[in-house]
């Protein structure tokens, strides 16, 4: 997927370490635009509980590279099985990919983050629930985004934090735990060295 070799069993192994999950199966699905996405069908320990896709996404992001983090988590009471007792992948429910709903920034920090996300991703606008990596972000763009956040908001956001949060809303939820930047802000200069 996107030029990266993906082993669903590796993702399933990482998910199996989550104490709230009993079973998981990872497949590749296509969203409405035809782009391939990783989909995790999961069964919580007590049936359909309070496990959220964001929590599972953060859990997996802390253990695997960005390309192996599923885009969608489908929570089920149980996985469908064949007569032989194996997981019936053909009977897994279709995932609901992003429906295109846009949620606007709720405060100044989120507005600045939305502008930085849009600038780095080279798009017109980014909602607070739009996943940075699903929208075309990669490691190089993440580095640029971290630099913009440092320059615009004077906050230190590590690449690891960005991989875990993935959205503006996710970063906003972690904002209290981030440290102020002690680095001087970068400024654009002309070829002659004059500050713009």
For residue 120, with 0-12 CB atoms within 10 Å meaning exposed, 13-18 middle and 19 or more buried, which class applies? buried
What are the residue ranges of CATH 1.10.1200.10 in the chain?
108-180
pLDDT band per the 50, 70, 90 thresholds, residue 117: very high
pLDDT band per the 50, 70, 90 thresholds, residue 145: very high
pLDDT of residue 3: 66
Nearest Cα to Cα of residue 167 among 134, 128, 120: 128
What are the residue ranges of CATH 3.30.300.30 in the chain?
8-91
Q: For 8-91, which CATH superfamily applies?
A: ANL, C-terminal domain (3.30.300.30)
Annotation: CATH topology of 108-180: 1.10.1200
In the DSSP assignment, the letter for residue 196 is: -
- Is residue 42 within 8 Å of residue 73, measured between CB atoms? yes
pTM above 0.75, yes or no: no
**pLDDT tens across 25-39, in order?**
998 887 665 667 788
Q: What share of the chain is helix, strand, coil (3-state, %, to 5)?
A: 35, 15, 50
């Amino acid at each position: 997927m996107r030029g990266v070799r993906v082993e669903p069993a590796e993702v399933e192994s990482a998910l199996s370490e989550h104490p709230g999950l009993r079973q998981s199966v990872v497949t590749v699905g296509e969203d409405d635009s035809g782009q391939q996405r990783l989909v995790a069908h999961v069964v919580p320990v007590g049936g359909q509980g309070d496990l959220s896709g964001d929590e599972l996404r953060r859990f997996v992001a802390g253990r695997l590279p960005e390309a192996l983090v599923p885009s969608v988590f489908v929570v089920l009471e149980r996985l469908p099985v064949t007569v032989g007792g194996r997981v019936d992948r053909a009977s897994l429910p279709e995932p609901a990919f992003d429906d295109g709903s846009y949620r606007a920034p709720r405060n100044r920090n989120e507005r600045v983050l939305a502008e930085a996300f849009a600038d780095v991703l080279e798009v017109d606008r980014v909602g607070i629930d739009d996943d940075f990596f699903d929208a075309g972000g990669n490691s190089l763009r993440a580095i640029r985004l971290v630099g913009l956040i440092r320059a615009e908001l004077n906050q230190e956001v590590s690449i690891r934090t960005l991989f875990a949060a993935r959205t503006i809303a996710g970063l906003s939820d972690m904002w209290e735990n981030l440290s102020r930047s002690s680095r001087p802000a970068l400024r654009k200069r002309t070829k002659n060295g004059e500050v713009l």
